[in-house]
Amino acid sequence: MSVRVRIAPSPTGYLHVGTARAALYNWLFARGRNGQFILRSDDTDSERNALEYHTDIIESLRWLGLDWDEGIEIGGPHAPYQQSLRYDRYRDVAMDLLERGLAYYSFASSEQLDEFRKEAQAAGKTPAYDGRFKLAPEEAADRIAAGESAPIRMAVPRPGATTFHDVVRDEVTFDHAQVDDFVILRSDGSPTYHLASTVDDVDFEITHVVRGEDILSSTPKHIVLTKAMGAIPPTYGHLALLMGPDGKKLSKRHGHTALSAYRQAGILPEAMVNYLALLGWSPGDDETIVSLADMIDRFDLDEVTKNPTIFDNDKLEWMNGVYIRKLTVTDFVARVTPLVESHLGRQLDGREAAQLAAIAPQVQERAKRLAEVADQVSFIFGDVVYDETSWEKVMTKDEAAIVLPAALSAVATLEEWTTESIENALRNMLTETELSARKGLQPIRVAISGSTVSPPLFESIEVLGRDEAVSRLESAIARVGSQ
RNA sequence: GCCCCCAUCGUCUAGUGGCCUAGGACUCCGCCCUUUCAAGGCGGCAACAGGGAUUCGAAUUCCCUUGGGGGCACCA
């Protein structure tokens, strides 16, 4: 039987990086086994669903390069792959279970349940509802017939236990004393996550359910349900959760949890996928940089680490830098142009595009995120804006007053306007003024770029063009003279 | 409180009884390169949670303790 795996996000939030990692592992497993990867939408929470999230999930997965063989957007033999469109099916299953005595209408009030749970906890037991308030089937049927509404609960076999083999954790056992008679169909007739998800896994012939550890303890419920449906449970695998720097479950207070936020920050999909893969899996051989294609060959589910992993932004950015440097200059420019334009709030004209292309190699080798590139090159477009700290640091020194006019005259009359000619002229100037490059060039840098930190100076001057460079030197001289 | 899961440098990990005076990567520190900042090169700091047991021999097997995480809804 060929492998069929799925990722089933619910559109109640942006695609979470943890979900993205689970998607990646599922995808790698499917691709490595010649199986199918399915994208399902677990949208049974009508209160919190939003189209915006639905779209974000699809776009984020595509951005990562994880394509699916069946699912929302593309359809497939089991369509629709959206739970909100399959309510009839879930109800049928629930009714069938009810008729076979495997589930029942529950009239236990929430007060009763609360009290039961409180007492159980006080007695040192798990507060899992054991069905003790269950009515005789006839009585329950009468009350429903009389127009009362009630949720349907699964009658979990008691006493009993569920043991299963988890691909990442080996054997796991839960005593049914820990599993409550869970609701499968709400009193309004809508399915709960447990029902919808399990029915879909059965119907879609899912062979491996690989998901977060947060639902490890719900797995017995899914197995009980699956068996009640007369199906063979899939193989389960529970991935350890992603943590924030404080060791707690990764959440918004740690920074970004939405994959799209990283995309916006200028993280490359290649880097993201590589980093995510290494969060809980190692290709061995002391390797760190691994392509998606390479991972397919080397990945296996049972090699996945069991321990919770802390999301390390520093390492992600380092890795992103590695991938940025691997880009061809053309590709780099193509990826960075939209960011520069949005930073500027306008389109680049032809001349500016050429300027960007010219300076690109200089910034490419020092960037960690694409978004920061926009900031680094912005001095080229529009007027100089002096960073006051930078100004304070170098323009108030004596060298500034000497070097700036010297640089202006060295550069203003150059016959050739190339990086080399500019560098020669300025180095001669340094010799004449007897200043070190360190001291003598910084004022020029600030005059040209507005900051002590900029792309390499000679290239920057060249890209800026003679007129602009001259005018910036003049402006700086004027300001220095007036202080 | 109860149940489940987990436990190697600060972080991600390699390691499946001797190859380990524990390897790699990020971070941090130092040096080199250098027009700033980076990048790059070289080097350094840094870990088997604790206690028992098994064994000729344990990071590797077992038990306990401790610590961390997750779950305990008509949310997913």
Domain ranges in chain A are: 86-239, 252-327, 328-381, 383-483
CA of A73 to C1' of B70 (A): 33
- What confidence tens digit (pLDDT) does each residue in A233-242 have? 999 999 999 9
| Residue A173: CB less than 7 A from any atom in strand B | yes
pTM of the predicted structure, to 2 decimals: 0.93
| Residue A435: CB less than 7 A from any atom in strand B | no
| Residue A44: CB less than 7 A from any atom in strand B | yes
Helical packing angle, A457-464 and A419-433, nearest 10°? 120
User: Could you confirm whether A252 is annotated as catalytic?
Assistant: yes
| Residue A216: CB less than 7 A from any atom in strand B | yes
| Residue A387: CB less than 7 A from any atom in strand B | no
- What confidence tens digit (pLDDT) does each residue in A88-143 have? 999 999 999 999 999 999 999 999 999 999 999 888 888 999 989 999 999 999 99
Burial of A260 (0-12, 13-18, 19+ CB in 10 A): middle
**Residue A156, amino acid:** V
Third-level CATH fold of A383-483: Arc Repressor Mutant, subunit A (1.10.10)
Maximal CA-CA distance, chain A = 106
| Residue A230: CB less than 7 A from any atom in strand B | no
- What confidence tens digit (pLDDT) does each residue in A290-337 have? 999 999 999 999 999 999 999 999 999 999 999 999 999 999 999 999
Taking the stretch 336-355 of protein chain A, residues with Cβ within 7 Å of any atom in nucleic acid chain B are none
> DSSP string of A9-64?
--SSSSPBHHHHHHHHHHHHHHHHTT-EEEE-B----TTT--HHHHHHHHHHHHHH
Decide: A59 and A263 in contact? Cβ < 8 Å. no
Residue A252 pLDDT greater than 80, yes or no: no
Predicted local distance difference test score (pLDDT) of residue A168 = 92
Q: Which CATH number is A86-239 given?
A: 3.40.50.620
CA of A127 to C1' of B66 (A): 26
Q: What confidence category does residue A157 fall into, taking pLDDT thresholds of 50, 70 and 90?
A: very high
Predicted local distance difference test score (pLDDT) of residue A113 = 93
How far is C-alpha A446 from the chain's CA centre?
Answer: 38
Rounded Cα gap, residues A270 and A443, in angstroms: 39
| Residue A423: CB less than 7 A from any atom in strand B | yes
Q: What are the start-end ranges of the E strands in A289-423?
A: 309-310
Bases of chain B within 7 A of a CB of the protein: 1-8, 10-15, 23-27, 34-40, 68-76
Collapsing DSSP to helix, strand or coil, A429 comes out as helix
Q: Mean pLDDT across the stretch A214-228?
A: 96
Taking the stretch 312-331 of protein chain A, residues with Cβ within 7 Å of any atom in nucleic acid chain B are 312, 314-315, 318, 321-322, 325
| Residue A144: CB less than 7 A from any atom in strand B | no
Residue nearest to nucleotide B36 (CA to C1'): A453
CA of A211 to C1' of B6 (A): 17
The predicted complex's ipTM stands at 0.94
Q: Which CATH architecture has domain A252-327?
A: Orthogonal Bundle (1.10)
Taking the stretch 96-125 of protein chain A, residues with Cβ within 7 Å of any atom in nucleic acid chain B are 110, 113, 117, 121, 124-125
